Structure 1
């Protein structure tokens, strides 16, 4: 089963209402927001990092940037890197830019969410592919995830 169908099944099994949006290929947060017709703020940008222990998922508002020094501090790790495109495909079954904002049970990774995500009433994300997005209510998203909530965004200027 592909990642998009896994997400769809997960949402439906948990009685979550969501909007599915088909769009042109959107490899960036800016394009995804444009095609969805939504603010970039509600986008959930999901990144897979590897530290000395293993891989971890981090979700942040698409309008912000990750401060890798803060991530290192959260993980207590000096060494940190993004997952490679091959690792994203091998571990998650997705290409860069299509990683959904869910850890367990959908993806076997610890999940860290920047507090910026919760400023919004909705969350939008590429649903395992670059041509489909899901948009859902933030309260529903909160019920589905068991994250470590922290602050790892760069300070807004």
Structure 2
């Protein structure tokens, strides 16, 4: 089953209301904002990283950047890199830029920036470049297994 269908099934099986917007393929957070009107801070990007300890997924606002020092400390590794397109496909079942904020769907530990948790809604790509899903943050928090941490540059 593809990640999009897994995410839809997860939301529906937990009776979570969500809005789904289909649009032309987009590849950046800014493009998502342009085609959907979703504010950058509400839209999240999910970045897969690899260290000597394995893979981890980091979820942050669309207008933010990861802080390398904070990531090293959080994962307990002195060095890490972003996953290659092939690794993203292998681990998450999607292309770079379509990563989704559900570590459990791909059996990957997930860290979510604390600033994301200040929103009332969350919007994301569900493993596809041509779709954006929006749902209430409190519903999202009920179905994820993550660690909240300060992971962005300030």
Could you tell me the TM-score, scaled by structure 2's length? 0.97
Equivalent position of 2:133 in the other structure: 134
**Structure-2 separation of matches of 1:152 and 1:2:** 28
Equivalent position of 1:48 in the other structure: 48
**What's the RMSD between the two structures over aligned residues?**
0.8
**Structure-2 separation of matches of 1:98 and 1:62:** 13
Task: Give the 4+ runs in structure 1 shifted more than 2 A.
Answer: none
Alignment of structure 1 residues 67-82 onto 2, 5 Å? 67-82=67-82
Q: State yes or no: 1:10 paired with 2:14.
A: no
**Structure-2 separation of matches of 1:35 and 1:3:** 22
For residues 35-78 of structure 1, give each alpha carbon's deviation from its aligned partner in whole angstroms, at most 9, with x where no partner exists: 11111110111000111110001101111111111101111111
Gaps (5+ residues) in structure 1?
A: none
**Structure-1 separation of matches of 2:43 and 2:13:** 23
Q: State yes or no: 1:62 paired with 2:31.
A: no
For residues 80-122 of structure 1, give each alpha carbon's deviation from its aligned partner in whole angstroms, at most 9, with x where no partner exists: 0000000011111100110110111x12011111101111110
Could you tell me the TM-score, scaled by structure 1's length? 0.95
Equivalent position of 1:118 in the other structure: 117
Equivalent position of 1:94 in the other structure: 94
Gaps (5+ residues) in structure 2?
A: none
**Structure-1 separation of matches of 2:18 and 2:133:** 6
**Structure-1 separation of matches of 2:93 and 2:103:** 14
**Structure-2 separation of matches of 1:134 and 1:107:** 18
In the comparison of the two structures, how many residue pairs are matched?
154
**Structure-2 separation of matches of 1:149 and 1:74:** 10
**Structure-1 separation of matches of 2:9 and 2:18:** 12
